[in-house]
Amino acid sequence: MIDDDELRELLPALRRFALGLARDAGDADDLVQACLERALSRWRTRRPDGELRAWLFSILYRQFVDAQRRSRRWRRVFEPYVGDEPGALAPSAEDTVLAQDALAALGRLPAEQRALLLMVAVEGLAYQEAADALGVPIGTVMSRLSRARQRYRELMDGGPLRPALRRVK
């Protein structure tokens, strides 16, 4: 059985991770909800020795990938009516320019690099845990992490990335 208090403690990290993946606060919370529902109804499938947080992250990531696949299918149907940057985080008054740049740069990384950077660099998961959560070998985790950091840095160096100010390449 999963302890509710343990889950409550992990909720902020899960929401952050989901937000970094989905880039829309509403979508992110939907993801967290789907993840918790799955975790609470399938808690028997959890490995007894595994860390709860890494297990939840892996569930959430899989939910995200599935949802993305579904929405791609839908977007093809509705293509003419949808802008090319759906789900971008709406900037709010208290967001600093830097924070907006950071999220915009994150959003331009491929999903698997984004997930990895969030797990390891932001949430501090061990490499092996991240490898398990993403279902890839640890060697892939290391090379992908390196690429993610370099790409992110390039995007940040490239100047402001907010839609209104983005440079045309």
Partner 1 sequence: MNDIDDTELQAYVDGRLDARRCADLEARLAAQPALAARVAAWREDARQLGEALRRATRPAAPQLDPAVIRRGLRRRRQRLALLCASWLLAVGLGVLGGWQGRGALARPAPMADAVEAYRVFASDRLRPVELRAGQGADLQAWLAGRLGRPLALPDLGTYGFALLGGRLLSTSEGAAALVFYESADGRRISFYVRPSRRQPEPSVGTRRDGPLTTRWWFHDGYGYAVVGAADDARTRAIQDALPDTI
Which chain residues interact with partner 1 by CB under 8 A? 2, 4, 7-8, 11-12, 15-16, 19-20, 25, 28-29, 32-33, 36-37, 40-41, 89, 92, 94-96, 98-100, 102-103, 106, 117-118, 120-122, 124, 126-127, 142-143, 145-146, 149, 152-153, 156
- Count other Cβ atoms within 10 Å, centred on residue 105: 18
Smallest distance from partner 1 to CB 125, Å: 9
Calpha distance 69→65 (Å, rounded) = 6
Calpha distance 65→84 (Å, rounded) = 19
Nearer to partner 1, 8 or 47 (CB): 8
Cα of 46 vs its chain's centroid, Å:
21
Residue 118 tokens, joined: 């969030």
Nearer to partner 1, 16 or 46 (CB): 16
